Structure formats: structure tokens, C-alpha cells
Amino acid sequence: MTIVFKVSERLKEKMIAYYQDKKRDKTPPYAIFQATDADTIITLYESGKVMFQGISADIDANMWAQMEKKLTGKTINIGEVKEKQEKAKQERNSMYQLRTIGSDEVGVGDFFGPIIVTASFVTKEQIPLIEKLGVKDSKKLTDEKILTIAPTLMKEIPYCTYCLNNEEYNKYQGLGYNMNKIKAILHNKVLYQLKEKGYNYDKIVIDQFVYPRKYFEHIKEAKEKVYDITFVTKAESLCSSVAVSSCISRYFFLKKMDELSNSLKITLPKGAGSNVDKIASEIVKKYGEEKLFAIAKCNFKNMDKYKKY
């Protein structure tokens, strides 16, 4: 059972004090803390939302709802909260069958290679093809599988893709843009391009990587914006167009990595592990630091680590 609702600043302070000795060592992104109390996991987020998970989630949630009423007079009806969340869950589960425009990106965790963002439009009639090809989130498919199925997807399904090379990425970083802002700008770009083609869709879906309010703050300077977005966590498993976009993005990323490797005559590894540091050192010795700056994400810690080799 999972129950989520928003609390006041006064209740936040009470919760932080109450769970002080029950906190977990690791804190999820954007959370003030995560704690375990008996069989319930409690996560308090910076936004003021608190999530109760477990068999007794409703009991713990009710306790704090009553405390909120005493402190501020605000009534939180846990029964209504559960009903709304169950309805939202059902809507999420039915999203797979809708006509959707969905976007996803790859390359954000790779020292070498570009960031690729794709938006695609999928109808209910195309789902049998997608299932036949075995389309899932690209992270769960082998590179060989991606290279095999993506050309068919690109032939049958409308899509728009943008490739941000690392020279452009490093310029964004120089302007003070963090990764989430860069991703938001790129998602908005491909979604707008695809939406402008006039497809009759039910929803536009993004695999949520930042709170919606922050997303729109990130794209406020864009000339053209897409506003009617549904933000969903783990969207690649719930929305067919996001899964397709994930595959197409990965396909282009693999192709770009091959191009870079061939031009350097060095096989570039993916990710940002120690094997990446060794190759970075080899590139600098062979071509100089300027070449590394052109093909790598300069804000990654690998920029310092490669020097020890």
C-alpha cells in the first residue's frame, strides 16, 4: 500500500524530529529523509509531500493526518487520498493503449558520446508491431537487439530526434545549465517538432526526471513550448511511445559512438567507469586535450581521473 499527501511546514518539522532515529542511511533524490517505522517506509520530500509505503501505511498516514488537523486545522481524508491514487494508478496502467507522443533520452551518464533525445507518436494499432519486436526500455535490451529492431520502428513510427554533441553540451555547462535543464530543453524541442506535425494524440508523456514545475522553469526561455505534458515515473514500462523513443535514441547513440570510435581508431567505452579514464588518457596522449574536450562531457569526474594514467 502506498499513500501520498502534502503536509505543512509545521508538520514537516514534527516529522523530521520524530523520525530522527529511524532514518535510513541513503536518501532518495529530492527527499529530506527516508525512514523505517515497523513495517512502514516513510519518505518526506523537499516539496512537502510525504509517502507512506507498507502494510500499515494507512495507519501511519492517519496518525500524521490527525496531527496536521491539530496543528493547522487542515483536514486530510486518507480514504479520499487512497481513492484518488488508485484512480491515478488505473489511468497509468491504461496509458499503454492510448495514442501518445512520448519522449526519452540516452547518453546522460556516458562520458563519451552525445545526448540523444527522441519523441515518437504511437497509436493503438501499432502496439502489436511494437510487442512483436520486443520493444521495452532500451536499458533492458542488448545493443544488438536495439540495432536490429530500431530501423523497423523508425520506418513504421513517426519520430523526431535531436543529437546534442559534447561541444554543445560543454557550452551549456559553461552557461551554468545543469543536466536536468539541458534534458528539459531537448525534450521540449523534439516534442514541439513532433506535435507540430498535427497527430491526433491522447496524451504527451515524459519519463519524469524532475518535478513538473521545475521542468517548465527550465524551458521558460524557449520560443516554442509544449505545455500539455503528463509526467510519469518509469514511463517506458507504461507508455508505448516512450519505450519506442528510448529504443530509437539508443540506436542513434550507438551509431554515433561507432562513428567517434572509427574516427579516433580507438574503441570508446560507454558509461563513466575506470575503463573510461584509461581511454581518455590514451586519447590525450595521441590527440591532445582539445580532442578530449570535443568528445567528452567536461563536468564529469573522469576529467580529473584520467590524468593518473
Domain ranges, ordered by start, for the chain: 2-94, 98-260, 263-308
pLDDT of residue 238: 84
CATH topology for the 98-260 domain: Nucleotidyltransferase; domain 5 (3.30.420)
CATH topology for the 2-94 domain: TATA-Binding Protein (3.30.310)
Low-confidence stretches of the chain (pLDDT < 70) are 87-94, 136-138, 309
Q: Which three cell numbers stand for residue 30?
A: 529530492
106 forms beta bridges with: 116
| Cell 556516458, residue located | 110
pLDDT of residue 92: 56
Contact 297, 168 (CB under 8 A): no
Contact 7, 15 (CB under 8 A): yes
Whether 2-94 shares its CATH topology with 98-260 is answered no
What residue type is assigned to position 70 of the chain?
K
Q: Which long-range contacts (CB under 8 A, 24 or more apart) does 82-91 make?
A: 82/3, 82/58, 85/2, 85/3, 85/4
- Backbone Cα Rg of the chain: 22
pLDDT of residue 228: 94
| Cell 539508443, residue located | 250
Cα–Cα distance for residue pair 55/48, rounded to 1 Å: 23
Contact 102, 206 (CB under 8 A): yes
Which of 58, 45, 59, 67 lies closest to 3, judged by CA?
58
Contact 108, 246 (CB under 8 A): no
Contact 35, 19 (CB under 8 A): yes
Cα–Cα distance for residue pair 163/270, rounded to 1 Å: 17
Q: Which three cell numbers stand for residue 217?
A: 522553469
Q: Which three cell numbers stand for residue 40?
A: 512502514
pTM above 0.85, yes or no: no
